[in-house]
Chains A and B, each alone.
Chain A
Amino acid sequence: MPATLTTRKPHQIAVVDNDLCDECGLCMPLCPPEAIHMTRKGLLVDKEACTGCVKCIAPCPVGALFMVDG
């Protein structure tokens, strides 16, 4: 079987670094599937809902969002 069919490209999703995050919530309305939630423990990205579109990454004023392999 060709390698392209067996190796799945790693799907990247967004994560919040809660040490950097100031909980301003700017990223929340930017998320098309509304996958970012404000919780008592800080902002949290719903891994299942995140589509890896990266729309939340650059606008974060403190650079607290990163893409990681999902």
Chain B
Amino acid sequence: MREVHRPVPRGRTFHGGRLVRHVDILVVGGGPAGCVAAWEAAAAAKALDVLLIERDRAIGAPVRCAEGVGSKGLREFLDPDGASWVSRKISKVIFWAPDDTEVNVGGGDVGYVLDRTRFEPALADEARRAGAEVEIRTEALSMARENGGWRVRLAGPRGESDVLAKVVIGADGVEGMVGRWAGLDTRVPSRDMESCAQYVVSNIDFDPDAIYLHFAEQWAPGGYAWIFPRGEGVANVGLGMVALKSDGRNARQYLDSYLERYFPNGNVTGLTVGGVIVATTVKRTVTDGVILAGDAAHMINPLSGGGIVNAMKAGRMAARHAAAAVCAGDTAAERLQRYHDEWMALLGDDHLKYYRIKDALSRLDDGFYNGLARTVNGIPLEKRTLGRIFAHALINHPMLLPVAARFFV
């Protein structure tokens, strides 16, 4: 019998009768963490094969986020000036106390409200330019240890296939499975989960250069409501709340009440819902051949609920450690632990402090915030630094002392 020889494509081998693709680094999830991880990994070593997979039809959609981001952190990665993925530049922060007392803080280059349907594609373009492959509509179904790496089953537009990766970076978000498959505990207690709902609301009156944060048990128990401008008269209006403190209504119902009270004439479109994990970083972010980054590793700032820049920083860090590990031929947990340690030193340890502050603040009632708002409004605007606000808060509200003690100890 004559055998027909067909060349096996580069980077693939036959394995158990199946054509298996080989990559050095597989990044699961095309959010900020995953896109930056693919970008940095491909840029770190040109010789590395880097594959980024995204389950959804497009990178950046659907959006599950309020899209606000601090200026300084963002600029470490991309230049926002004149970028198409910026909805609005933000120059001030306005806090609303439970009794609607307004407190104006900050000024200058505060941050941006992004258009994440364009922001993540811009990051993914950087990843492609650096040499990474990006595949959309492709999800990981399972993974198993094989030959010192991971064999990951993928389902894509052309059916199911297997990929053998030396390192898998799990940037698969709140609902992430990579950590679970690799035996890492990524579960969250209910008290550390904020349920969020947001509408895009137009025809409303507010300062389009400010973001608004509204603290009130009545409107968002355990969290806050926000107004993030997308343009003049148009904003992302949403809230995050802790279900354990709810009166029985879900986040969407709380938001409907909020809009009825504050923006009864607004035109409501596009509902966005999602969970924000306001916990500290998972105990183990790495295991043999696996690194978790971003929401998948609970790297959100537990006090603010912000996670975009954190995710990008973690993605960059994960990529560099993964690339170095692959190049060194050692992808064991002991080596990847350097990533965990570096993350904890950069932000993880701060999150432990923020978590304690959040915990202490959650025990204070609306009256405290109303009083604090009036105290802060007694400080001239140009002198309203966070340190000074904190000092005044301590003098006038001794009950904050335990918070300060916990923060500084």
Tell me the bound Cα distance from A12 to B250 in angstroms.
21
Known: A26-B275, A30-B188. A62 touches B175 (CB 8 A): no
**B373 within 8 Å of A (CB atoms):** no
**B180 within 8 Å of A (CB atoms):** yes
User: Which chain B residues lie closer than 8 Å to A60 at the CB level?
Assistant: 195, 250
The 8 Å CB contact of B187, one of A22, A30, A63, is A30
Residue of B at shortest CB range from A26?
B275
**B244 within 8 Å of A (CB atoms):** yes
Contact B197–A58 (Cβ < 8 Å): no
The 8 Å CB contact of A25, one of B173, B195, B244, is B173
**A3 within 8 Å of B (CB atoms):** no
Tell me the bound Cα distance from A61 to B173 in angstroms.
17
**A32 within 8 Å of B (CB atoms):** yes
Question: Nearest-CB distance from A62 to chain B (Å)?
Answer: 5
Contact A58–B174 (Cβ < 8 Å): no
Tell me the bound Cα distance from A59 to B64 in angstroms.
16
Tell me the bound Cα distance from A58 to B253 in angstroms.
12
Contact B244–A29 (Cβ < 8 Å): no
Residue of A at shortest CB range from B242?
A59
Contact A22–B277 (Cβ < 8 Å): no
Residue of B at shortest CB range from A29?
B188
Question: Nearest-CB distance from B245 to chain A (Å)?
Answer: 10
Contact B187–A24 (Cβ < 8 Å): no
- Interface residues in B218-259 by Cβ distance below 8 A to A read 243-244, 246, 250-253
Tell me the bound Cα distance from A55 to B188 in angstroms.
10
Known: A61-B197, A61-B252. A25 touches B180 (CB 8 A): no
Contact B175–A59 (Cβ < 8 Å): no
Tell me the bound Cα distance from A59 to B194 in angstroms.
8
- Interface residues in B158-205 by Cβ distance below 8 A to A read 173-177, 180, 186-190, 193, 195-197
Residue of A at shortest CB range from B246?
A58
Interface residues of B, dominant DSSP: mixed
Contact B196–A28 (Cβ < 8 Å): no
Tell me the bound Cα distance from A26 to B188 in angstroms.
10
**B266 within 8 Å of A (CB atoms):** no
Question: Nearest-CB distance from A58 to chain B (Å)?
Answer: 4
**Number of A-B pairs, beta carbon distance below 8 Å:** 74
Tell me the bound Cα distance from A38 to B176 in angstroms.
10
Question: Nearest-CB distance from A22 to chain B (Å)?
Answer: 5
Tell me the bound Cα distance from A31 to B175 in angstroms.
11
**B28 within 8 Å of A (CB atoms):** no
Question: Nearest-CB distance from A60 to chain B (Å)?
Answer: 6
Contact A26–B244 (Cβ < 8 Å): no
User: Which chain B residues lie closer than 8 Å to A34 at the CB level?
Assistant: 180, 187
Contact B187–A59 (Cβ < 8 Å): no
User: Which chain B residues lie closer than 8 Å to A55 at the CB level?
Assistant: 190
The 8 Å CB contact of A24, one of B190, B243, B274, is B274
Question: Nearest-CB distance from A64 to chain B (Å)?
Answer: 9
**B273 within 8 Å of A (CB atoms):** yes
Tell me the bound Cα distance from A30 to B275 in angstroms.
10
User: Which chain B residues lie closer than 8 Å to A30 at the CB level?
Assistant: 187-190, 193
Contact A61–B175 (Cβ < 8 Å): no
User: Which chain B residues lie closer than 8 Å to A25 at the CB level?
Assistant: 173-175, 274-275
- With most chain B CB atoms within 10 A of its CB, the pick from A24, A25, A29, A31 is A29
The 8 Å CB contact of A22, one of B180, B193, B273, is B273
- With most chain B CB atoms within 10 A of its CB, the pick from A55, A58, A62 is A58
Contact B175–A38 (Cβ < 8 Å): yes
User: Which chain A residues lie closer than 8 Å to B244 at the CB level?
Assistant: 58
Contact B275–A59 (Cβ < 8 Å): yes
- The 9 lowest CB-CB distance pairs between A and B, nearest first, are A25-B175, A26-B275, A61-B251, A61-B273, A58-B243, A59-B243, A24-B274, A29-B188, A63-B250
Binding site for A on B (CB under 8 A): 64, 155, 173-177, 180, 186-190, 193, 195-197, 243-244, 246, 250-253, 271, 273-275, 277
Q: List 19 A-B contacts (CB under 8 A).
A: A24-B64, A25-B175, A26-B175, A26-B275, A29-B174, A29-B175, A29-B186, A29-B187, A29-B193, A30-B189, A34-B180, A58-B190, A58-B250, A59-B190, A59-B243, A61-B252, A61-B275, A63-B250, A63-B252
